[in-house]
Each structure stands twice: as structure tokens, then as C-alpha cells.
């Protein structure tokens, strides 16, 4: 196994997924839930993110080509999803999650596009394209798995923060997380628009 490549994959994806930055958003989204549901949301989000990243690592470019979808379009779609979630957090509509919403929270926005977003997908696809043998593929797989385990550990033990903040603190954190998510969404959409403009400018 190429340990240097393993380190590069681990560090790159760890910076992109940003577990410490994910924690307040996770707490804001799952704070009102019972501890059991919050823990379930953590592993569901990580499992989905791992699945999405693996699928795009193996067949990402082929899938996008088949659907005639460019990466900036995927980025813009992720931004729009985050806008919807951010509006719910800012307006308070997401404060009373139903029993079914645990899985929904884990899937969107936690699993994707926050954990398995355009940045993580593109980085993984680039690593796979540059891989030259089984040892490289093994290093990439180990790096992805290590990052997902690190993310799960951070989310799994975020319950301590929930106990410290209590309902009032979680409500404040929810509004802040909504604002942060809105900013991330706007940045994703802006980057996608800029990429589209550059692409079509080169074509002219």
C-alpha cells in the first residue's frame, strides 16, 4: 500500500468533509431527537456518504457522461438542496422533527451534499483517475474509509454538546447553522455558475 497516497487521500477528504465544522450543523439538525435516533442519524449519514463517494470513485465519470450532467450542475443541485434545509432551520420549521425525519436528516443534508458533496466527489474521482495499480486503489479505499470513521466518531459523540447546550442553546445553534448552511449553499451555486461561464466562454 502506498502510505503517501493514503495520507494525501485522508488529509484531503478530512479537510473537505470538515468533521469539526459538521458538528454544530449535526447538533442543530438532530438536537431535538432522542439520543438513539441521533446516533442512528450519525451512522446513516456516514454510510450514505461512503456509498456515494465509492459509487462516484468507481463509476463517477461514466455515470455523469451517461446522464449528460457536468460536475458544476451537480454542485448547483447540492447548493439548492442546502438552501431548502437552511430556510427550514432559519424559519424554525425543522424544530419539531417527526419520527420519519431521522432518516431524511441523515440523507439530506448530512449524508449528501455536506459529507459527500461536490468537493469530496471530485477529489475522489481525481485520485482514482491518477491511480496506477492495486496498491494505489487500496490506499485510496483505506483513506476514504478512515475519513468516514473519523467523521462518524465526531458525530457519534456530539451528544455531549447537546447535553451542555440544552434546548435554548440548541435553538440558537440551529439559527446559526441555518445561516452557515445558507452561506455554503450560495458559495456552491456561485462556484457552479462561474464554472459554467468559464466552460462556455472557452467554447465560444
Q: What single-letter DSSP state applies at residue 104?
A: H
Q: Kindly compute the dihedral angle of the four CA atoms of residues 199, 124, 51, 182, in this order, to the nearest 10 degrees.
A: -50
- For position 61, what pLDDT does the model report? 85
Cα–Cα distance between 81 and 61 in angstroms, integer? Answer: 22
For residue 100, the model assigns a pLDDT of 46
Nearest to 70 by CA among 118, 111, 13: 118
Residues 144, 151, 134, CA angle at the centre, nearest 5°? Answer: 10
Residue 101 pLDDT: 60
pLDDT at res. 56: 94
The CA distance from 23 to 61, in Å, is 31
Please state the pTM of the whole predicted model: 0.82
d(CA 43, CA 148): 10
* Residue 24 near residue 171, CB atoms below 8 Å: no
Sign of CA pseudo-dihedral 187, 185, 27, 90: positive
Residue 23 corresponds to which cell in the numbers above? 458538528
The confidence score (pLDDT) of residue 97 equals 46
pLDDT per residue of the chain (204 residues) written in tens, 0 to 9: 789 999 999 999 999 998 988 888 898 888 888 889 999 999 999 999 999 999 999 998 899 899 998 888 888 988 898 898 888 888 876 555 444 466 778 888 899 989 998 889 999 999 999 999 999 999 999 999 999 999 999 999 888 887 888 778 888 888 888 888 899 899 999 999 999 999 888 876
Question: Residue 158, Cβ neighbours under 10 Å: how many?
Answer: 20
Q: What are the cell numbers at 89?
A: 432551520
The pLDDT score that the predictor gives to residue 94 is 55
Amino acid at each position: 500500500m502506498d502510505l503517501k497516497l493514503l495520507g494525501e487521500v485522508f488529509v484531503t477528504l478530512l479537510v473537505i468533509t470538515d468533521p469539526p465544522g459538521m458538528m454544530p450543523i449535526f447538533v442543530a439538525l438532530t438536537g431535538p431527537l432522542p439520543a438513539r435516533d441521533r446516533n442512528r442519524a450519525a451512522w446513516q449519514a456516514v454510510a450514505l456518504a461512503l456509498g456515494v463517494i465509492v459509487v462516484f470513485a468507481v463509476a463517477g465519470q461514466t455515470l455523469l457522461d451517461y446522464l449528460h450532467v457536468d460536475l458544476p450542475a451537480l454542485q448547483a443541485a447540492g447548493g439548492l438542496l442546502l438552501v431548502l434545509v437552511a430556510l427550514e432551520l432559519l424559519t424554525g420549521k425543522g424544530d419539531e422533527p417527526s419520527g420519519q425525519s431521522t432518516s431524511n436528516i441523515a440523507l439530506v443534508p448530512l449524508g449528501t451534499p455536506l459529507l459527500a458533496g461536490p468537493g469530496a466527489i471530485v477529489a475522489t474521482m481525481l485520485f482514482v483517475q491518477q491511480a496506477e495499480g492495486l496498491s494505489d486503489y487500496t490506499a485510496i479505499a483505506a483513506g476514504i474509509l478512515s475519513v468516514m470513521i473519523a467523521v462518524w466518531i465526531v458525530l457519534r459523540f456530539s451528544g455531549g454538546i447537546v447535553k451542555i447546550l440544552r434546548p435554548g442553546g440548541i435553538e440558537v445553534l440551529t439559527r446559526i447553522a441555518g445561516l452557515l448552511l445558507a452561506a455554503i449553499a450560495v458559495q456552491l451555486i456561485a462556484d457552479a455558475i462561474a464554472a459554467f461561464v468559464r466552460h462556455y466562454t472557452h467554447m465560444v
